[in-house]
Amino acid sequence: MNWGEEAQARLSRIAACSTTAEGVSRLPFSGEHAAALDHIRGWMVRAGLTPEMTASGTLVGRSAKGEGPTLILGSHQDSVPHGGRYDGIMGVLLPCLALEKMQLDGRQPAVPVEVVAFADEEGVRFPTALIGARALAGTLDPAALDLTDADGISIAEAMAGFGGSPDQLSTLQRRPEDVLGFVEVHIEQGPVLETEGLALGTVTGICGIERNAIVFTGETGHAGTMPMAGRKDALVAAADFISGINRLAKEQGEVRATVGTLSLAPGAVNAIPKRVELVLELRAVDDAQRLSMHDAARALAGQSSAAMGCGLSFERTYSQTAVLCDPRLQARVANAVSATQGGTGFDLPSGATHDASAMSDLCPVAMMFVRCRGGVSHRPDEFVTDADMALAVDALDHLLAGF
């Protein structure tokens, strides 16, 4: 069996469970989700697992083998609108293929194994994310079940309509002593492995994230009659800040700083901007480095506004701490990656949030990244080669056999 070709073929078939012909658009608790689960049940059965639908809509495949704590592998089945065919779902398929391969070879994982397909990770349908992993970890806020989608359907209603039991969610929570850890395989969604010329990498941690709402306030005036000297141009202050924080983050090297939204008023071609609102997002796998960049950004915004005679408001509106992978589980993944790549391992942080972030509240977590073409993800042209997926299957085989 060519496991890379097999992976590609199965991902191509399940990609058809989508509301759009271009790319994959699969929301949780939808008809496309139900159709996808039919595929995943088949994968699990061929892997020697017994699939079971849980109260939260997570499909769990359990191995018959033995007592003792379980190693959980898996990822999410949902996609962003017009997403790719690898994000999430590849992390459900590849562990199934590794188990199927071991079974065909007459071998078994050294520990009890489960593969999970979480209903929701992306947080596209409802204004929350990571529903499945949070239910397992026991950190899903019951109030979140009342959150509604664009059609006014609540999570509880969608889950119940899908055959789940929103009132039973508390029974899903695992006991930490029953779980060895959670290993998630995921498309890298960035260009680092491709640049390194490597198929696989070991994740060191998942970046902490903070968002800061920043407002520069100046004075508007006629673009023709106001001399350049003495203007209080809020956009010039904001521009100075944006290029400054970009320079600081480049120099620092580990923190990602992005201004992704900006609005200005009055927004007329012949008026000096009097007010600019923007959001600065900072991400780093080291919380201390992120907090230090936050302080630097605050100081810089102060300088940029003062230089233009503008007022400033700077407020942190969101903050999520980094999740470090478990050193022992990470070392096991790193060994498997290195053994599969002829002795070459590679460690990298994850700039994106994953199911492993939520699972870290329950158990040790680790992640393996698989190279993607051009660093492209959340797009229809997201692509992973057969050969890279075959290597990932080998690495999982190595990991499971050696546990």
Residues that bind Zn ion (CB under 5 A): 87-88
DSSP state of 325: P
d(CA 142, CA 218): 44
Q: Which helix (H) or strand (E) holds 281?
A: strand 275-284
Task: Work out how close the CB of 90 gets to Zn ion at its nearest, in angstroms, rounded to a whole number.
Answer: 9
Task: Work out how close the CB of 245 gets to Zn ion at its nearest, in angstroms, rounded to a whole number.
Answer: 28
Strands 256-265 and 275-284: antiparallel
Please check whether residue 231 is in contact with residue 312, taking contact to mean a CB–CB distance below 8 angstroms: no
**CA 50, 383, 76, 137 torsion-angle sign:** positive
Task: Work out how close the CB of 186 gets to Zn ion at its nearest, in angstroms, rounded to a whole number.
Answer: 6
Task: Work out how close the CB of 353 gets to Zn ion at its nearest, in angstroms, rounded to a whole number.
Answer: 9
Q: Which of residues 56 and 357 has its CB atom nearest to Zn ion in the complex? A: 357
Task: Work out how close the CB of 83 gets to Zn ion at its nearest, in angstroms, rounded to a whole number.
Answer: 9
* Amino acid at the residue 344: T
What phi, psi does 6 have (nearest 5°)?
Answer: -65, -45
Helix (H, G, I), strand (E, B) or coil at 63: strand
Q: Which of residues 24 and 236 has its CB atom nearest to Zn ion in the complex? A: 24
d(CA 227, CA 63): 76
Task: Work out how close the CB of 47 gets to Zn ion at its nearest, in angstroms, rounded to a whole number.
Answer: 21
Task: Work out how close the CB of 357 gets to Zn ion at its nearest, in angstroms, rounded to a whole number.
Answer: 11
d(CA 356, CA 136): 11
Q: Which of residues 88 and 244 has its CB atom nearest to Zn ion in the complex? A: 88
Task: Work out how close the CB of 166 gets to Zn ion at its nearest, in angstroms, rounded to a whole number.
Answer: 24
**CA 248, 250, 252, 257 torsion-angle sign:** positive
Length of the chain: 403
Closest CA to 255 of 299, 213, 210: 210
Q: Which of residues 276 and 372 has its CB atom nearest to Zn ion in the complex? A: 372
Q: Which of residues 123 and 311 has its CB atom nearest to Zn ion in the complex? A: 123
Q: Which of residues 118 and 241 has its CB atom nearest to Zn ion in the complex? A: 118
Strands 179-187 and 200-206: unpaired
d(CA 125, CA 143): 17
Cα separation values, 220 from 48, 88, 268, 270, 378, Å: 69, 48, 10, 10, 40
d(CA 25, CA 82): 5
Task: Work out how close the CB of 377 gets to Zn ion at its nearest, in angstroms, rounded to a whole number.
Answer: 8
Q: CB nearest Zn ion: which residue?
A: 88
Q: Which of residues 101 and 134 has its CB atom nearest to Zn ion in the complex? A: 134
Please check whether residue 100 is in contact with residue 47, taking contact to mean a CB–CB distance below 8 angstroms: yes
Q: Which of residues 20 and 303 has its CB atom nearest to Zn ion in the complex? A: 20
Q: Which of residues 55 and 133 has its CB atom nearest to Zn ion in the complex? A: 133
